[in-house]
Amino acid sequence: MTDRPRNIDTALAAFDELWSPRILTRVNDWDVRLAKVRGEHLWHAHHDTDEFFLVLDGALDIDLREPGAAPRRVTLRRNDTYVVPRGVDHRPSSAEGATLLLFEPAGTLTTGDYAGEVPAHITATIGTALS
């Protein structure tokens, strides 16, 4: 990573790809990732870690399927945060588009446990370093 300050606006201006997070920096063994999103991601879970979302701009819906509970939706707007608990099936989406800051353990796959074919608009990745 880097030992210099990083500006979030500058980092976001450095890429346009949707659902393809960039690693802004690292804290201990955790990535601080930035992502631009629009449309739907896919249903997945992270069985070994929680997933932290902070909406920097726009709005994000997170559909949740928890064992023993009715499916539900959490809607986040600018400056809202939410943590999806480990093991919970979830599907983020944004009709109008959003920018996000995410905290995840380094190496966490963006598609979690999903084993099917990944749609072309989603990059299954562990995050890409910003240059």
Answer whether 58's CB lies under 8 Å from 78's CB.
yes
Q: Report the SS3 class of residue 123.
A: coil
Structure tokens at 94: 């944004």
Fold classified for 8-129? Jelly Rolls (2.60.120)
What are the extents of the domains in the chain?
8-129
For the chain, 131 residues long, give each residue's pLDDT as a single digit of tens: 567 899 999 999 999 999 999 999 999 999 999 999 999 999 999 999 999 999 999 999 999 998 888 999 999 999 999 999 999 999 999 999 999 999 999 988 887 787 778 777 777 677 788 87
Please tell me the distance from the alpha carbon of residue 131 to that of residue 128, in angstroms, as a whole number.
Answer: 9
Assess contact for 76 and 59: CB atoms under 8 A: yes
Coil/strand/helix, residue 66: coil
Q: Does the pTM of the predicted model rise above 0.85?
A: yes
Tokens read off for 58:
């726009």
